[in-house]
Amino acid sequence: MEFKTHISVRNLSVFYGTQQALKNITVDIPDKKITVIIGPSGCGKTTLLKSFNRLIDSQDGMKVTGQVFVDGENIFDPQVEVTHIRKKMGLLSQRPYPLPMSIYDNVAYGLRIHGTKAKKELDRRVEHYLKEASLWDEVNDRLHTPASRLSVGQQQRLCLARGLAVEPEIILGDEPTSALDPKSSRRIEQRFLELKEEYTTVIVTHILRQAKRLADYVIFLYLGELIEHGLAREVFENPQKELTKEYIRGTIS
């Protein structure tokens, strides 16, 4: 199967102090597909994900070599202005962290910091993205109450709406369902499947069954190294490397 590349990673190594978290990774992330990064904990999954929007920048003692191209632009080029890279991507973290403000303001936050001021426009878009994240029906009567009062599952969907509101091209999910109950997890997964027509999606997970449900494309990392990557069905049904086989069988974790 041929696909268009959205993010291409070339010889990427990331160091935290003397410790090397990623070792010379080269891989292409397909456009408008769900790519799932799997691997045991501490293998560099989150580092790889957070290098895409350069959130790893704020770690002390972080050093990067190699390149990551998004839409053909090397995002680690010192000339690059980081906020416009981040605006291209919505992030869902392991636990939802609503900002300390109302439900409405959480979604409007990204719009406001990028210059949308008109009340009508904000109203329209907040409603639109809350619907996109399938949260509107549950909160439309209390938009101006603090977001922290929502349940964890609702908060995670709010974070999705907040991320979508800045009109990204890419959705990044760092184990986005790990704090959620099974029902809320399924709702988030469902949204990912529906949204993949419009967005390139990259998800980190350590839940193999979730990876199988969602993935079009799989990247398997082990101790900072890229072991295997390819179409989901091929990797899951016919892994080429011994380590991948063992991980999928569940003998290493």
User: Could you tell me the two tokens for 140?
Assistant: 């439309």
CA–CA gap between residue 195 and residue 124 (Å, rounded): 20
Among 10, 32, 87, 245, binds other proteins (CB under 8 A): 87
> Does 113 contact other proteins by CB under 8 A?
yes
Name which position in 63, 100, 145, 181 contacts other proteins (CB under 8 A): 100
* Cα 209 to Cα 214: distance, rounded to the nearest angstrom: 9
Choices 33-41, 87-95, 122-130, 226-234 (CB under 8 A): range interacting with other proteins? 87-95
200 lies in the site for other proteins, by CB under 8 A? no
Q: How far is the CB of 138 from other proteins (least distance, A)?
A: 21
Q: Supply φ then ψ for residue 43, to 5 degrees.
A: -95, 0
159 binds other proteins (CB under 8 A): yes
* The binder of other proteins chosen from 109, 138, 212, 246 (CB under 8 A): 109
Burial class of residue 73, CB neighbours in 10 A (0-12, 13-18, 19+): middle
The token pair that represents 150 in the structure block: 């929502």
**Shortest CB 113 distance to other proteins, Å:** 5
Which of 23, 95, 128, 212 binds other proteins (CB under 8 A)? It is 95
Candidates 9, 37, 43, 55: give the one binding other proteins (CB under 8 A).
55
- Does position 128 bind other proteins by CB under 8 A? no
Number of residues that bind other proteins (CB under 8 A): 26
Which one, 39 or 110, has the nearer CB to other proteins?
Answer: 110
Across the chain, the runs of DSSP E, i.e. the strands, are 5-16, 19-30, 34-38, 62-70, 73-74, 89-92, 170-174, 200-204, 217-222, 225-231
162 contacts 134 by C-beta, under 8 angstroms = no
Closest approach, Cβ 123 to other proteins, in A, equals: 19
Locate 197 and state its tokens: 């027509």
Q: What is the DSSP string of 74-118?
A: ETTSTT--HHHHHHTEEEE-SS----SSBHHHHHHHHHHHTT---
How far is Cα 223 from Cα 236, in angstroms, rounded to an integer? 20
Q: Which lies closer to other proteins via its Cβ, residue 159 or residue 232?
A: 159
Residues that bind other proteins (CB under 8 A): 53, 55, 58, 60, 83-84, 86-87, 89-91, 93, 95, 97, 99-101, 109-110, 113-114, 159, 162-163, 166, 172
